[in-house]
Amino acid sequence: MTNVNTEKLSSARFAEATDAFVEVFTASVDFDKRMAQQDIQGSMAHAKMLCKIGVLTDKERDDILSGLEKISTEIAEGQFNWSVKQEDVHMNIEARLTDLIGIAGKKLHTGRSRNDQVATDIRLYLRSEVEHIAKEMTRLQRALLNLAEQEADTIMPGFTHLQVAQPITFGHHLMAWFEMLCRDQERLQDCYKRINVMPLGAAALAGTSYPIDRHMTAELLHFSRPSANSLDSVSDRDFAIEFCAAGSLIMMHLSRFSEELILWTSAQFDFIDMPDAFCTGSSIMPQKKNPDVPELVRGKSGRVTGHLISLLMLMKSQPLAYNKDNQEDKEPLFDTVDTLINCLRAFADMVPHIKPKKASMYKAAKQGFATATDLADYLVRKGMAFRDAHEVVGQAVRLGITTQRDLSELDLAELQNFSPAIGEDVFQVLSLEGSVASRKHIGGTAPDTVRQAIHTARKALKHLDADPD
Ligand code: ARG
């Protein structure tokens, strides 16, 4: 047949034009154009390598490089004419290059395929986004350290089962969040190592018959090394799944963090004041100040976990090597990146403005017999077995409940009724300050220990790029 659609990709193979709906249905340009600059970067490295091995002349290489440079500017300036007919970002750029420089443009695809090209683009893209995310996380971590330092002595109740358990310091609580983010950072850095491997050269699936220099392209693109197996390189998206898993954990942490902020701003807790700039009012209730930012972040954690599951499902049944299924990897991945950056940014901006309501926190710590364990430990120090001490304190708590007094408000004589071992020194133990100050081992809530933890954490953060100090 001669009546072929000349616009169609690999057109000579086809006798019929693509169905108009199928053309749109199979196209990815609307979303993968986001990787345009990475696609150009990859093509530039590929062209340089092809020239070095003698596949392109110097002139062809230079034409390709300047053509790609121009395309890069057109895209950056919003002048590029994206076409669904060209299916994806790769074909759009190649077609424009051929428009601009003629035959040399048609030589760029020698020894490569869109399969290794797209795998390379995603890795280049994700690599820089991981750096961006890590920076926002560091900013949030720094904000937490600063607030923790200011609030190292601020007493609040610590909870288990959302019931008042023992007094802690607000600084200590903030440092718990900090620790979660440290592990999140480690996960990101670890997954970065596996992102940073170069698939280019795997071509469609089996490599290429040209004597390509993969070390050269890997070096030009700052990858740690070329990938080891061509089939694996073009097909697996485990690095993206791993990233989404790390992202889901980050969001899970931010969601827990949000949940606490939301509870704490409520009139029932009244532990903190949230900056007005991060809250909104109600359209009907004039008195309302809603903690929208943490609520939204808590809500958004769901979609990131959803993206993780999407990618796992996308991958799990694919035979080697590349399948078109993989085109579906991008939207979940991009949305994960956007959500992470936006949520981390909102938190990093908001945390410095969180104001604890110290009196209210203190009052809450006073209720709920938060120093009961301290009294039991005191009796143990006086020679009583812990189980017996537990019993004695239970009785004292019962008296407190019936007479509506905290343990520290019971008389010495009353306490001595429960155990003659109790002396005047018990009141230091029953005070909130005494309780927190006594927990001064590594990982404890004592103000000095918290300050030490902050100091150690600051030193550990120093090696990160985002460190402005
Ligand atoms: N748009 C495709 C993707 O995102 C690019 C690779 C296409 N390869 C192919 N053999 N159809 O995966």
* 3 domain residue, yes or no: no
359 and 421 share one domain: no
Average pLDDT over residues 364-369: 91
Pair 365, 157: CB distance under 8 Å: yes
- Reported as a single tens digit per residue, the pLDDT across 337-348 is 999 999 999 999
377 and 417 share one domain: yes
41 and 164 share one domain: no
User: Which residue, judged by its Cα, is nearest atom 10 of ligand 1?
Assistant: 115
Distance CA 199, CA 112 (A): 10
Sole residue written with tokens 């893209």: 125
Distance CA 114, CA 145 (A): 46
What pairs with residue 280 in β-bridges?
Answer: 290
Distance CA 183, CA 253 (A): 11
pLDDT reported for residue 367: 87
Q: How confident is the model at residue 25 (pLDDT cuts 50, 70, 90)?
A: very high
Average pLDDT over residues 376-402: 96
Q: How far is the CA of 197 from the centre of ligand 1 (A)?
A: 19
Q: How far is CA 269 from CA 177, 185, 345, 357, 359, in A?
A: 19, 31, 26, 10, 12
Q: How far is the CA of 315 from the centre of ligand 1 (A)?
A: 15
Q: Which of 10, 161, 317, 463 is catalytic?
A: 161
Q: How confident is the model at residue 168 (pLDDT cuts 50, 70, 90)?
A: very high
Alpha helix segments (H runs only) across 77-169: 89-101, 103-107, 114-150
* 416 domain residue, yes or no: yes
Average pLDDT over residues 384-410: 95
Residues 6+ apart with CB under 8 A from 126: 195, 239, 240, 243, 333, 337
305 and 183 share one domain: yes
Q: How confident is the model at residue 281 (pLDDT cuts 50, 70, 90)?
A: confident
For residue 19, the 8-state DSSP code is: P
Judge whether 307 counts as a catalytic residue.
Answer: no
* 15 domain residue, yes or no: no
* 109 domain residue, yes or no: no
Domain end residue (candidates: 363, 394, 414): 363
- Reported as a single tens digit per residue, the pLDDT across 72-108 is 999 999 999 999 999 999 999 999 999 999 999 999 9
Q: How confident is the model at residue 284 (pLDDT cuts 50, 70, 90)?
A: confident
Q: How far is CA 422 from CA 44, 144, 167, in A?
A: 80, 40, 21
- Peptide linkage before 321 cis (omega within 30 of 0): yes
241 and 193 share one domain: yes
At 129, list the tokens: 């986004």
At 338, list the tokens: 């956007």
Give the pairing type, strands 163-169 and 355-356: unpaired
User: Which residue, judged by its Cα, is nearest atom 12 of ligand 1?
Assistant: 327
Distance CA 95, CA 88 (A): 11
Q: What is the mean pLDDT of the chain?
A: 95
What pairs with residue 169 in β-bridges?
Answer: 155
- Reported as a single tens digit per residue, the pLDDT across 312-339 is 999 999 999 999 999 999 999 999 999 9
Burial classification of residue 385, based on how many CB atoms lie within 10 Å of its CB (0-12 exposed, 13-18 middle, 19 or more buried): exposed
155 and 50 share one domain: no
190 and 325 share one domain: yes
Q: What are phi and psi of 165, to 5 degrees?
A: -115, -65
Residues 6+ apart with CB under 8 A from 310: 328, 332
Distance CA 423, CA 421 (A): 6
372 and 234 share one domain: no
pLDDT reported for residue 353: 96
Number of domains comprising the chain:
3
* 223 domain residue, yes or no: yes
CA-based torsion, 198, 201, 205, 211: positive or negative: negative
Taking the CB of residue 53, how many other CB atoms lie within 10 A of it?
Answer: 13
- Peptide linkage before 446 cis (omega within 30 of 0): no
* 249 domain residue, yes or no: yes
What pairs with residue 159 in β-bridges?
Answer: 164
**pLDDT above 90 (res 463):** no
For residue 321, give the amino acid letter. A
CA-based torsion, 169, 174, 180, 185: positive or negative: negative
| CATH number for position 422 | 1.10.40.30
* 328 domain residue, yes or no: yes
| CATH number for position 259 | 1.20.200.10
Q: What share of the chain is helix, strand, coil (3-state, %, to 5)?
A: 65, 5, 30
* Full residue range of the structural domain in which residue 47 is found: 20-104
Mutate to test the pocket of ligand 1, among 26, 118, 314 (most ligand atoms within 8 A of CB): 118
Q: How far is the CA of 200 from the centre of ligand 1 (A)?
A: 14
Distance CA 148, CA 153 (A): 9
189 and 294 share one domain: yes
Q: How far is the CA of 123 from the centre of ligand 1 (A)?
A: 15
pLDDT reported for residue 276: 85
Residue 168: strand, helix, or coil: strand
Q: Which of 66, 266, 282, 455 is catalytic?
A: 282
Pair 408, 430: CB distance under 8 Å: yes
| CATH number for position 40 | 1.10.275.10
* 10 domain residue, yes or no: no
134 and 152 share one domain: yes
Lining ligand 1 with CB less than 6 A are 28, 32, 88, 114-115, 118, 322, 324, 326-327
Residues 6+ apart with CB under 8 A from 45: 200, 216, 217, 220, 221
69 and 202 share one domain: no
145 and 255 share one domain: yes
Domain end residue (candidates: 310, 330, 363): 363
At 203, list the tokens: 């071509």
Percent of the chain with pLDDT over 70: 96
Domain end residue (candidates: 74, 104, 134): 104
Judge whether 463 counts as a catalytic residue.
Answer: no
Residues 6+ apart with CB under 8 A from 256: 180
For residue 351, give the amino acid letter. V
Pair 109, 99: CB distance under 8 Å: no
pLDDT reported for residue 469: 43
Distance CA 394, CA 408 (A): 14
